[in-house]
Structure 1
Amino acid sequence: MAFASQGDTAEKQISFTEIGDGLYAFTAEGDPNSGVIIGDDSVMIVEAQATPRLAQKVIDCVRGVTDKPISHVVLTHYHAVRVLGASAFGAEQVIMSDAARGMVMERGQEDWDSEFQRFPRLFEGHESIPGLTFPTTTFSDSMTVYLGQRKVEIKQIGRAHTAGDSVIWVPDSQTMFTGDIVEYHSACYCGDGHFEEWGGTLDAVKAYDPQSIAPGRGDALVGRDMVDAALANTRDFVDSTYNAVKPIAAKGGSLKDAWDAVRAACDPKFKDYAIYEHCLPFNVARAYDEARGIVHPRIWTAERDLEMWAQLQG
């Protein structure tokens, strides 16, 4: 039996939504989102897509609203579907947290091989990828970029989707680009996540009182009501997964037992979410590890993916 995502071949409809003054969310029905921040003289892109060919779709949208050069690309974490298209933008600076860069060094190639096997459609034009994406610029806690007078704050406010997650805050519009810390009607991918800390990181997002959010996947979140709904949904998804697994792990149950428990808890609420079936086995495996005290997420390799899947098939 194949991963659910290997059979997912349908083209997704792209939307390009203004979420603040000169701020846009590039979304595609649950595929990875990108963000656009237009400054006085230049443009910052948030998330680079999986390949240069897919990145070109973002560039085409940007060119529909501005001819300013793209000067910065910010990558909220290390995952292949987010970073391998970075070369297409021709930016002077590619920015990641130190922790995210460390994860590219530690597991970037394994992640690329693994994700490509799992979800081939997301790597359209993969032959155009020049290699792993490394940042030109890193930061350890926070950094500020001025696009002319426009202030952009790039921060680590907690671990969630990965250990290296960053958010991008544009104070003049009270708008945040969260990467995969927040999703909207899309499953959270938790295979490299930190379940125990994710809720606290969502609290840290909420403390900014964002008026708009560009989430990692799903529609742009415009207005407080939609922002609050997405934060609540994301929390419910992560907690429902982990709370189902903890008692299984505590009594020495198997990975398959954990899978059954998560299906029972999550299917009724989330089975219509984008990429739900794709994420589920990886989410269960990571929750099972974390509940058994494995704090540092184990590296997914193409081989490990298949071994885990075989275990779940019984």
Structure 2
Amino acid sequence: MSKKFASQGDMTEKEISFVEVGEGLWAFTAEGDPNSGVIIGDESVMIVEAQATPRLAHKVIEKVRSVTDKPISHLVLTHYHAVRVLGASAYGAPEIIMSDAARSMVVERGQEDWDSEFQRFPRLFEGHESIPGLTYPTTTFSESMTVYLGKRRVDIMHLGRAHTAGDAVVHVPDQNVMFTGDIVEYHSACYCGDGHFADWGNTLDNIAWFDVDAIAPGRGDALIGKEMVNAAIENTRDFVESTYRPVARVAARGGSLKEAWDACRAECDPKFADYAIYEHCLPFNVARAYDEARGMDHPRIWTDKRDIEMWEQLQS
């Protein structure tokens, strides 16, 4: 490769924040690294997103133990990506929940995604030797399910395709707070390499319908207050549309992937170049947008080999 992926050169440890987004609800954030959520019930705790490794999961557990000694009974994984799920073993033996579609993607492409992300994210996979293997759910759902943590109701829903085909969101009605996974980001690029551009906006509309008071997004700071929530939803929409639009125009006239990359940069760099993981996401976003614009509904599987081939094509 003429140069490394941006994420391969990002070896600086990120500063962790642990912010209460509602009574007994917390967002674990780390300067654009993958976020986790914490939902404290009457007798036990639900974690949203496992982190990439047991090493990183223990950082979440350390923060949980700073606010409660209740056992961790449930782990919700909003989608299948390795950086979200491979730390699951650190939480003991909770009930692990995914959508049916997310589980099918673990089966179809979980190992390939692990290999791909391991190559791209060396810092996040420090301590990878302790990962026992792929993470599979113990419980799945199709459209929605409800978990009661004592009296506290937690609704887990698939509101549409966006970041992946199997995205789940977690809503806590008593505080009107939502954990959105990577469907919504804050001052962080959206990773669209396995996404569905045509559906993403409708899924954002479905989230906006809940008119929540706070969101713990997939990456970036916790969103507290309706004004911040709505601004982040619309900014995410702008990012997704600004990525797809120029690429689709190039694809429609039979242009190359490299031309699509240049057109996307021309539109997105002025608005998003300072966003977390922007340079990392961009080549994968362009490649997926190019495929979707040419009629490929089901995202192609990323492998460590395909990553390099795509990157070399864009660098040529």
Q: Same fold (TM over 0.5)?
A: yes
2:308 corresponds to 1:306: yes
Identify the residue that residue 58 of structure 1 maps to in structure 2.
Answer: 60
- Across the aligned residues of Structure 1 and Structure 2, the Cα RMSD in angstroms comes to 0.5
Shift of 1:123: 1.0
* 1:1-314 superposed matches below 5 A: 1-314=3-316
C-alpha offsets along residues 85-111 of structure 1, whole Å, 9 cap, x if unaligned? 011011430000010000000000000
CA distance in 2, matches of 1:312, 1:29: 28
Give the CA deviation at 1:124. Answer: 2.1
Moved over 3 A (4+): none
Contact residue 73 and residue 91 of structure 1 kept, 8 A: no
CA distance in 2, matches of 1:92, 1:188: 29
Distance of 2:127 and 2:178 partners within structure 1: 30
- 1:165 Cα shift? 0.2
Q: Secondary structure at the match of 1:228?
A: helix
- Per the alignment, in what secondary structure is the counterpart of residue 8 of structure 2? helix
Q: State the secondary structure of the residue aligned to 2:37.
A: strand
TM-score, normalised relative to structure 1: 0.99
Gaps of 5+ in 1: none
Describe the superposition over 1:262-311 as per-residue Cα deviations: whole angstroms up to 9, x where unpaired.
Answer: 00000000000000000000000000000000000000000000010011
Structure 1 residue 247: Cα displacement: 0.8
SS of residue in 1 equivalent to 2:260: helix
SS where residue 230 of structure 2 aligns? Answer: helix
Q: What is the alpha-carbon distance in structure 2 between the residues aligned to residue 58 and residue 304 of structure 1?
A: 32
1:73 and 1:95 in contact (8 A); partners too: yes
* Counterpart amino acid of residue 190 in structure 1: C
Q: 1:262, 1:305 → 2: CA distance? A: 19
Paired letter, 2:22: G
Q: Any idea what SS the aligned residue of 2:26 has?
A: strand
Shift of 1:200: 0.4
Match of 1:134, as an amino acid?
Y
How many angstroms apart in 2 are the aligned matches of 1:92 and 1:121? 26
Q: How many residues align structurally?
A: 314
SS at match of 1:66: coil
Whole-Å Cα distance in 1 between the matches of residues 93 and 155 of structure 2? 18
1:169 and 1:5 map into 2 onto residues whose CA distance is: 31
Equivalent pair of 1:104/1:134 in contact (CA under 8 Å): yes
Q: Tell me, in whole angstroms, the C-alpha distance in 1 between the residues paired with 2:94 and 2:219.
A: 26
Deviations, residues 143-177 of structure 1 (Å, cap 9, x unaligned): 00000010000000000000000000000000000
SS in 2 for 1:121: coil
Aligned partner letter, 2:16: I
How many angstroms apart in 2 are the aligned matches of 1:120 and 1:282?
18
Which letter does structure 2 place at the counterpart of 1:311?
Q
Q: State the distance in 2 between where 1:274 and 1:12 align.
A: 12
Deviation string for 1:32-85 (max 9, x for gaps)? Answer: 000000000000000000000100000000000000000000000000000000
Q: Contact conserved, 1:144 with 1:151, CA < 8 A, in 2? A: yes
What SS does the corresponding residue of 1:11 show, helix, strand or coil?
coil
Write the deviation string for residues 200-219 of structure 1: whole angstroms up to 9, x where unpaired.
00000000001000000000
What TM-score do the two structures reach when normalised by structure 2? 0.99
Query: How far, CA to CA, are the matches of 1:94 and 1:291 in structure 2?
Result: 35
Distance 1:175 1:201 in 2: 17
Extract unaligned runs of 5+ from structure 2.
none
**Corresponding residue SS for 1:13:** coil
Structure-2 separation of matches of 1:242 and 1:92: 39
Report the 3-state secondary structure (helix = DSSP H, G, I; strand = E; otherwise coil) of the residue aligned with 1:143: strand
